[in-house]
Amino acid sequence: MDGTGPTRRRPFGTNPLVGERGSETERRIFQGALEVFAEVGYNEARVELITQHAGCSRPAFYQYFSSKDDVFWKLARELAGKMNELGRRLERIDADRDGLVRLSAWIDEFTTLYQVYAPIFSAFQAASRDHETLARQSTTVGDRLDTAMLRAFGRRNRGRDQALASGMAAVLIRCSFYWDVMAATGPVDRQRLVDGLACVIHRLFHGPIDGVNIERAGGAVRTPPIPTPVMPPLPAPPHARPLRPRGEQTRRRLLEAGAKVLPARGYHDARVDDIVATAGVSHGSFYRYFSDKDDFFRALAEEAGGQMVELLGRFPAGGDTGELRLWLDEWFDSYQSNGGVITTWQEMQEAGSDLVEFSQQVAGSITTGLVAMLESRGFGDALVDALILLALLERLPYRAFTLGFTTRAAAVDATVTIVRRGLLAQADD
């Protein structure tokens, strides 16, 4: 890895280099770590679990790695190297069918790579909280995607073009996550997702081209109706009774505090202590309204999910620039106040509770509405494009507010252009 090969950590022997047997042991540990991160998530991963999956002893593990964090970040650097290789392989994408086919093949390569390293992509947010420097070094994974796209389309790596490519790189990664989560039971096979992503990116940089990235009239992929999920009812608080104004105010302060604590600490590391300290209330006040942290998070998630569903029901499907900007201002405001819930849902995939089902119910409800809206275009694959739109609306505010990679204004501008050109096949104003 990194061109140097595996080495032993001091003080394990006088010769730091290892032979073929040592290389195989290190590779087994890497594979065992990927399996553990996939099964239990980053926070619950332990060295003992990794060694069990790798079929090696703890002393053997510590010959090569100091901790699970050490394994994770070496895997992240390995992934970054493979992303470099993938970026170099993307050739020029022309405004014709051959260009679209070439782009589809490259995206398919990425989704294959994503499948191998999915636990690293999924755990990155949780792993980054205590390792900001390492995280900053590894965030160039997305940069490699957007730089490759800009070069292939003959665009400049700055300004508006760079913002569009960065946005689509984030969407590509997020859609791969959606597909990975839905793979066992979802209605979208990988090739269908790859082709849909390729068409949107091709339209974004080359514009809509009939017969190339646009199939009109009877050419649209018809999506069978998706039943609207029913969200599980929120359990009653331990001392259920009508709240007086003061009680409702205290409950509201707790929920607002949770929306601040969650992005900073994450679902697994957020504690009741952190929430009550931020809200400025006692532990007794917390347990007057919520049974435990899961009950609290579920109330917060239900509120945020309801706002998302209501807002997306008013999405301006006509693509008018003014209306779209006004709607996005409202969406970004909502995300800024509820972003802790939205960005934490990914960490709940390993939570082992009905919170996972709840997050999937919300996502399903949102997707159903977006599919119905996109069906009216008369072209494209409404289900795939609904996933792309959901990823866009989730990731670009995340890049602005949580990661600080861009400004809110730049994120809104990029979203407007991607929606109009990539998803609705409209020309710029």
DSSP 203-250: HHHH---BTTTB--GGGSBP----PPPPPPPPPPPTT--PPPHHHHHH
CATH no., domain 223-382+399-406: 1.10.357.10
> Is the predicted pLDDT of residue 38 greater than 80, yes or no?
yes
At 402, is the pLDDT very low, low, confident or very high (cuts 50, 70, 90)?
Answer: confident
State the chain's maximal CA–CA distance in angstroms: 71
Where are the domains positioned within the chain?
Answer: 1-66, 223-382+399-406
pLDDT in tens, 188-224: 789 999 999 999 999 999 999 999 999 865 555 555 5
pLDDT in tens, 293-325: 888 887 887 788 788 888 888 999 888 999 999
Q: Is the dihedral of CA 44, 41, 67, 50 positive or negative?
A: positive
Classified as helix, coil or strand, 17 is: strand
Relative orientation angle of helices 97-128 and 20-44, to the nearest 10 degrees: 70
Query: Which string of DSSP letters, residue by residue, matches 18-46?
Result: --HHHHHHHHHHHHHHHHHHHHHHHHH--
pLDDT of residue 152: 96
Q: Nearest-CA neighbor of 2 among 78, 106, 87? A: 78
Is 1.10.10.60 the CATH number for 1-66? yes
pLDDT in tens, 278-296: 999 999 889 988 888 888 8
pLDDT of residue 226: 46
More confident residue, 134 or 330: 330
Residues composing the chain? 429
pLDDT in tens, 89-115: 999 999 999 999 999 999 999 999 999
CA–CA gap between residue 199 and residue 220 (Å, rounded):
12
